[in-house]
Amino acid sequence: MKKKKDWIYKKAKEKWNGMLDRCGKHSAYLDVKVREDWLDFNNFERWFREQVDNGWYHTGWAIDKDIIGGGSRVYSPDHCAFVPQPLNTLFVHAFNRHGKYSSSRGAYRVISTGEYDDYGYNVFCAKITYDGKVILHEEFDHELFAFFTYKWAFEEFVQKLVEELKDKLNPKMYDALMAYRVLPLG
């Protein structure tokens, strides 16, 4: 029992420190806050212990505040749950996948450089990468086609993946992932 307690305490401390270190220091986290009660490690540890006891935390999983919280900028027990790191990264890319000239999430414009510049060669890509593997990469002449191809593929891929993880995920996270829909930006 003592060994398990020590492991949970140590891992909770690691996750808590990582969460605090990210807030306000990295460019993507400048406006991210930690709810006041979670600034007390004991409160965070109790929450973390609950995640472990219910089987909702697994080694290598990341704490996520965005999916349940709908893009929340606050770490709190209301918005946070653990997900496999590749799934967390998939959503980081999904939230940020738009190019300089694109307004649609998941569809981004590739502007040629080189010999085709005189012809105005531009394409829109729909791309999904998961755990280092390209799941989808298609090119289109129109942004709308790229966006809807991305949207349908992303939603289907996430639902299939989440169904496989159903017994390991916090039910709030499972529900949020199953209900997730890709919307255009803007």
Say what the pTM is.
0.83
Answer with the residue of higher pLDDT: 25 or 2: 25
pLDDT value, residue 98:
46
Per-residue model confidence (pLDDT) at position 123: 83
Q: Which amino acid is at 161?
A: L
- pLDDT per residue as tens digits for the range 108-124: 776 655 555 555 557 88
CA distance 80 to 33: 13
Which residues 6+ apart lie within 8 Å of 94 measured at CB? 105, 106, 154, 182
- Residues 85 and 166: their CA atoms lie apart, in Å, by 16
Give the mean pLDDT of 157-170. 97
Return the higher-pLDDT residue of 185 and 183. 183
CB 99 within 8 A of CB 109: yes
pLDDT digits (tens, 9 = 90+) for 120-138: 557 888 888 899 899 999 9
Task: Sketch the domain layout of the chain as residue ranges.
Answer: 2-179
Q: For 11-48, how does the pLDDT look when each residue is reduced to its tens digit (9 = 90+)? A: 999 999 999 999 978 778 888 999 999 999 999 999 99
Residue 139 pLDDT > 70: yes
